[in-house]
Structure 1
Amino acid sequence: MKIVFMGTPEFAVPALEALIEKFDVEAVFTQPDKPKGRGKKLAMSQVKEVAVKHDIKVFQPEKLKKDRETIEELKNIAPDFIIVVAYGQILSKEILEIPKYGCINLHASLLPKYRGAAPINWAIINGEKVSGNTTMFMDEGLDTGDMLLKSEAQITDSMTAGELHDKLMEQGGELLVNTIKGIMDGKIKRIKQEDDKSCYSPMLSKETGKIDWTKGGEKINNLIRGLNPWPLASTHYNGEVMKIYEAQVLKENSNFEPGYIMDVSNDGIKVSTGSGVLLIKKIQFPSKKPMYVKDYIKGNTINTGLVLC
């Protein structure tokens, strides 16, 4: 069985490694090398690193759907499946129709919820207790194809987007292998998505992370968890941007205005919100490293009575 894999970031690596172990991966498509670090040297994607290690042919078109030469090479490979995991490019109908059995995508949500670019983050931001992966046949829509298999992952009250990312990343490979085997054995039934139950997870930006202190403590904490490690939730303290890595909802009420700093101690910064109190535990100021509040206040001062905004 011939497989072509399309993927780019770390999230796609375990999936590619699982496919290499079980099947014949003929080629890997990934995004072009990009400048990285202070020296701006060209760096390979994590997926390309794995392909090179296993002597698998790599294609890196700028825009695959407009690259006639590469599309013809893909047709000549005549793959049974094209497997897509966080590739970063939209596939045309022509490409979707190349593989014998179809194009399969691994998406990091329990579809039809959280279609789109940032499903892991928005699941946490919205306070979901369960997330997961879904494999699906790809069509021309955005994560709208018929579903195949799912795997679930519990979201704990303290879990960050980075931690959920790693959990789903490790689950993805096995789910893809089981999906391919199930299709070949005729044991998987295609399930159409119910569009009326769908929602989208738009791309993140630094604007997404601006904290509105009039919201409740739990919602603010979900935002902090959902944007860690990037782009991070933030607020302004005394005119400076303060990024927040970690916080905790306290079982306390407050009569102070939202954003008011009630207390500062080794435990953290106690802040009044629109509903309840939030304890900020880990922060970062411009040009400084992330630090727990207990370490930051050893050489710096955070004043009570000021209002974060």
Structure 2
Amino acid sequence: MRIVFMGTPDFAVPSLEALVQAGHEVCGVFSQPDKPVGRHQNKLQPTPVKACAQSHGIPVFQPTKLRDGTALAQLKELNPELIVVAAYGRILPDDILALPPKGCINVHSSLLPKYRGSAPIHWAVINGEQETGVTIMHMASELDAGDIIAQLATPIDPNETVETVHDRLAQMGGELLVKTVAQIADGTASRMPQDPAKVTLAPMLSRSLSPIDWEQPARSIHNKIRGLVPWPATSTDIFSKEPVKVFASVETGETTTKAPGTVVRTGSDGIDVACGDGQVLRLLELQAPGSRRMAAGDYLRGHPIDASKN
């Protein structure tokens, strides 16, 4: 099938690769503009999807806008039967949605209608979900609201971070996409409307989410820590004047009567902190301001904490 692919970050690369390996004619790739990198921001780094497309000799288009007519003209010239979108980062206007005869489909990293929005993997982990997955859906004017074509689920381990879930879903998305495109090609693809009563949202992440509220239960704090890795990352100021970032933790199963936010024990294996439900959470990986990520034991060597005073 003649396909235009639209995507930007690492998550979208397995989907593009899967289409190419399946023998589809990917006639063009749309990706967001290259971003400046380096100390002086004087070098442009191609998006992961652009780099992948170029490795296969596929033409790449990087419009700054989709509503000025230029992108539509480029798409008409490419004349795709189907447009596939995976984490493109832009909303497609109606005239583009209506262009390909087979429609526009999207690879979304949640089991819709749960977690519509820009950060579905993060919020699934933050909320302690035991399962997530990928959805292939027809695109509609409303964000992530189109009919579902196919879904594939996967469990989330209680100690798994958003990074490992992300990588697994990216691969699953590519596998499911190829099967779905084959069904679209032969006319056997199904359509299931989303249930509006089951819609939940996954809004964009921001640094305002970072501070840890130690009044919360240990499980909730643990989920937040593993759900905000690597950005914006959780942070705490309970043992430093400036917030220290926390990248990993584990539930100890131990209890304490000390006040939430109190350091109850330190050791080479971590820093134990009292939480709002009386449970103890062990912090495993930290980053002091101006420093690098390091194991808690290494952090303690440079920033000693005397838990006996608490």
TM range, smaller chain: over 0.9
Q: Identify the residue that residue 293 of structure 1 maps to in structure 2.
A: 296
**Aligned-residue CA RMSD in angstroms?**
1.3
Q: Indicate whether 1:282 and 2:285 are aligned.
A: yes
Q: Identify the residue that residue 210 of structure 1 maps to in structure 2.
A: 211
Q: Identify the residue that residue 254 of structure 2 maps to in structure 1.
A: 252
Q: Identify the residue that residue 62 of structure 1 maps to in structure 2.
A: 64
Q: Identify the residue that residue 220 of structure 1 maps to in structure 2.
A: 221
Cα offset, 1:75, TM superposition: 1.4
Q: Identify the residue that residue 14 of structure 2 maps to in structure 1.
A: 14
Q: What SS does the aligned partner of 2:301 have?
A: coil
Give yes or no for contact 1:260–1:305 (8 Å, CA) kept in 2: no
Of stretches 121-130 and 57-66 in structure 1, the one that deviates more from structure 2 is: 57-66
Q: What SS does the aligned partner of 2:282 have?
A: strand
Q: What SS does the aligned partner of 1:298 have?
A: helix
Gaps of 5+ in 2: none
Post-superposition Cα deviations, 1:34-63, rounded to whole Å, max 9, x if no partner, equal 101214201111111111111111111001
CA distance in 1, matches of 2:309, 2:287: 18
Change (3 A) 1:6 1:81: same
Cα offset, 1:123, TM superposition: 0.2
Query: Which amino acid in structure 1 is aligned with residue 89 of structure 2?
Result: G
Question: TM-score by structure 1 length?
Answer: 0.96
CA distance in 2, matches of 1:293, 1:238: 14
Cα offset, 1:101, TM superposition: 0.5
Post-superposition Cα deviations, 1:95-124, rounded to whole Å, max 9, x if no partner, equal 000011100000000000000010000000
Q: Identify the residue that residue 200 of structure 2 maps to in structure 1.
A: 199
Q: What is the percent sequence identity of the aligned residues? A: 45
Cα offset, 1:305, TM superposition: 6.0
Query: Which amino acid in structure 2 is aligned with residue 258 of structure 1?
Result: P
Change (3 A) 1:17 1:306: farther
Give yes or no for contact 1:79–1:99 (8 Å, CA) kept in 2: yes
CA distance in 2, matches of 1:148, 1:80: 17
Q: Identify the residue that residue 163 of structure 1 maps to in structure 2.
A: 164
Gaps of 5+ in 1: none
Number of aligned residue pairs: give it: 306
Question: TM-score by structure 2 length?
Answer: 0.96
Q: Identify the residue that residue 127 of structure 2 maps to in structure 1.
A: 126
CA distance in 1, matches of 2:122, 2:167: 12
Change (3 A) 1:96 1:230: same
Q: Identify the residue that residue 242 of structure 2 maps to in structure 1.
A: 240
Q: What SS does the aligned partner of 2:157 have?
A: coil
Cα offset, 1:306, TM superposition: 7.3
